[in-house]
Structure 1
C-alpha cells in the first residue's frame, strides 16, 4: 500500500510541475498563475495541491531546487583540474539541458527567472573557483563570473536557436572560449 501511495504522490507532483511549466511556457508570468489554473490543467483538486505545495511560487521553487540539485550532482562527479574532464562535464550538462529542453527553455528564456539564473551561476562559479588555485581569490571570483555568465548566455542563445549544434559541439566551443578566448577561432 505504501508503494502505491508513493507512486501516486510522485505522479501528482509530476503533473502539477508539468502544468505550471506549461502555463509559464505559454507566456503567463508566475505572478498571474493561480492554484486553480494549475489544478485544472493537471486534473487535480485544490486540496491535493495544498497537500504538496503552499502556492505556485512554492511549486516553482521546488522545480528549480530539483534542477539545482541535479546540476550539483553532475558537477560533483567530475574533476575540473584536467581540461578533458572539464569538456566532459560541460558536455554532460548540455546533454542534461537537451534532455530537459522544454523546462530549460521555459525557465531561462521564456519566463526568464533571474533568481534561477543566478542560482545556476552560483553553482557553476563555486565549482570553477575550487579548481583555479593558482589565482588570488578576487581574481578567481571575477574570472569565474566572466566565464560562467558568458557560458550561460551562450547556452541561452543556443536554446533560442533550437539547439542547432550538438551538446558535444557546444561543449567544445564553450570550453575553447573559456580557456583560449578568441584565439585560434576557426
Structure 2
C-alpha cells in the first residue's frame, strides 16, 4: 500500500512540475495561479496544497532539484587540466541539452532570475575551489574572474538555447573552454 502511495505522490509531483513549466513558457510566475496549475495538471487544489504551499514553492522545488543534480554532477569531477575542464564542460552542456526544455523555460524572460543566479553561484564556487586553485589565481581576483567566466558561459548557453541549439554540445563546450582558457588571444 505504501509503495502505491509513493508512486502516486511521485506522479502528482511530476504532473504539477510539468504543468508549471508549461505555463511558464507562456507567462511569468507572478501570473500563474494555483487554480490554473491544478486544472492543467488535472489535480485538485487540496492535493496541490498537500505538496506545495503555492506556485512559488513549486518553482523553488524544481530549481532546487536541478541545483542539487548540478552540484552532484560537478562534485563527481575534479578539474585538473584543460582537457578535463573541456570534458566537464561538455558533460554539462550535454546535461543542459538533455533537459533543454526545462532550461529554456527557466532561463527565459518568464523564468525566475534567482534560478540563473543560483546556477551562477554553484558554478562560481566550483570554479573557485578547483580551477582557480590549480592555476594559482590570486584570491582577490578569484571572485571577479569566476563571475566573468561563469556569466559569459551562461550567456553563451542561453544564446545557444535561444538559437534552437544550432551547434552540437561538443562545439559549444569547445567554444566556452576556448573563451575561458584563451580569452580574446585566440583571435590573433
Q: Please classify the TM superposition score into its range, dividing by the shorter chain length.
A: over 0.9
Choose from 151, 157, 160 the match for 2:159: 157
Deviation at 1:185, TM superposition (A): 4.2
Counterparts of 1:182 and 1:112, CA distance in 2: 31
1-structure distance, mates of 2:78, 2:106: 28
For 1:48 and 1:138, the matched residues in 2 are separated by 50
Measure how far apart 1:61 and its partner are.
0.2
Structure 2 counterpart SS, 1:80: coil
Find out whether 1:172 has 2:144 as its counterpart: no
Aligned residue in 2 for 1:7: 7
Alignment of 1:108-147 (within 5 A): 108-131=107-130, 132-133=132-133, 134-147=136-149
Contact 2:29–2:111 (8 Å) recurs in 1: no
State the distance in 1 between where 2:77 and 2:167 align.
23
Equivalent position of 2:42 in the other structure? 43
Question: Matched residues in 1 for 2:58 and 2:39: separation?
Answer: 15
Runs of 5+ consecutive residues of structure 1 not aligned to the other structure: none
Change (3 A) 1:181 1:90: same
Q: How many residues align?
A: 185
Cα distance in structure 2, aligned partners of 1:152 and 1:7:
35
TM-score by length of 1: 0.96
Give unpaired runs (5+ residues) of structure 2.
none
The runs of at least 4 consecutive aligned structure 1 residues that moved more than 4 Å come to none
Q: Which residue number corresponds to residue 101 of structure 2?
A: 102
Deviation at 1:3, TM superposition (A): 1.3
State the Cα distance separating 1:38 from its structure 2 match: 0.5
Q: Identify the residue that residue 184 of structure 2 maps to in structure 1.
A: 182
Give the RMSD, CA atoms, in angstroms.
1.2
